Amino acid sequence: MNRLGCELDYLNRHILPPLLSHVGELFAQRSMPAHNEQHHQRVWRHCQSLLQALSNAGHDIAPQLARNALIACMFHDTGLLVDIGESHGKHSAAICADYLKGHNVVDASEHAAILEAIAQHDNKQLRCQTTATTTNMLSLNVLVATADDLDAAGLVGAVRYIEIYSQRGIAANDIAPRARQNVAQRRNNWSNAYRPLCDLVALHSARFAITEQFFEQLPQHPELLPWIMDNLVGAQNIDLQQFAKTEPSEPVGNFLNKLLVELNHSAQ
């Protein structure tokens, strides 16, 4: 096992569990099932797979970069508990700063870089301007923003869009067109920023296509959006498997079964 592999193994065994527990306690204050600790854990995994792919492509990944990126991933959206708007990154950074002060998970000299990556993770200008240079691909800010983008793909991503847009007060009729525009931009940002990682780019570009297709076809299934908003967005103690077994509507049942497959795959 190389030094990156050793660092990732250590982080998964010793750093992730208490971080996951802490973020879970934060989100117990407000039900945001598409952005809670499970979302943060998926973003951690996306970032980890991105680091591994870069390493496999011959890039030297410093263990400290991996640690900083993954810690930032675990806090990037916690600020939504303070501000549901697009400026939530700065609140996420403040929440992370409080945690880092009381837990010896990273040297204090690294705090500023971690907090900046969190604060900037939703900076759309940063992502649009990123090209696939070695410096950009190994940038802490770009790694964290990209890992978050990758969890906006697939049906998991579709639920994220519906949750955040509805909680920001966007009208139901406007959710699909706004989501399609945003997911197309994220897909383009992803393929531009990490173009040399051909296999990974193809994998996640296909996932983004699923999200785009979902919102393109959403008007054909008018019962689906209100069902998601009533049963998944802001709900407590969601049992997707039970929903899938009992839901009589074919569009909803089909959606739930595919969503469960995605979630089970992401947990492996």
What pLDDT, on a 0 to 100 scale, did the predictor assign at position 10?
97
Whether residue 259 sits in one domain with residue 169 = yes
Whether residue 170 sits in one domain with residue 54 = no
pLDDT digits (tens, 9 = 90+) for 114-147: 999 999 998 877 666 678 899 999 999 999 999 9
pLDDT along the chain (268 residues), means of 10: 93 97 93 91 97 96 97 98 93 98 95 97 74 91 95 96 95 96 93 94 96 96 92 74 72 89 81
Domain with 54 in it: 1-122
Whether residue 98 sits in one domain with residue 24 = yes
- The last residue of one of the domains, among 83, 107, 122, is 122
What pLDDT, on a 0 to 100 scale, did the predictor assign at position 242?
76
Whether residue 118 sits in one domain with residue 157 = no
In a domain, 144, yes or no: no
What pLDDT, on a 0 to 100 scale, did the predictor assign at position 67?
98
Whether residue 96 sits in one domain with residue 171 = no
Whether residue 107 sits in one domain with residue 19 = yes
What pLDDT, on a 0 to 100 scale, did the predictor assign at position 58?
96
Whether residue 191 sits in one domain with residue 100 = no
In a domain, 214, yes or no: yes
In a domain, 136, yes or no: no
In a domain, 71, yes or no: yes
Whole-model pTM: value is: 0.94
In a domain, 170, yes or no: yes
What pLDDT, on a 0 to 100 scale, did the predictor assign at position 235?
66
Whether residue 88 sits in one domain with residue 30 = yes
In a domain, 127, yes or no: no
Whether residue 118 sits in one domain with residue 168 = no
In a domain, 146, yes or no: no
Written as one string, the DSSP assignment of the chain is --HHHHHHHHIIIIIHHHHHHHHHHHHTTS--TTTSHHHHHHHHHHHHHHHHHHHHTT----HHHHHHHHHHHTTTTGGGGT--STTHHHHHHHHHHHHHHH--SS-GGGHHHHHHHHHTTT-HHHHHT----HHHHT-HHHHHHHHHHHTTSHHHHHHHHHHHHHHTT--HHHHHHHHHHHHHHHHHHHHHHTTT-HHHHHHHHHHHHHHHHHHHHGGG-TTHHHHHHHHTTT-SS--HHHHHHH---HHHHHHHHHHHHHHHHHT-
Whether residue 112 sits in one domain with residue 160 = no
Give the count of domains, the chain. Answer: 2
In a domain, 134, yes or no: no
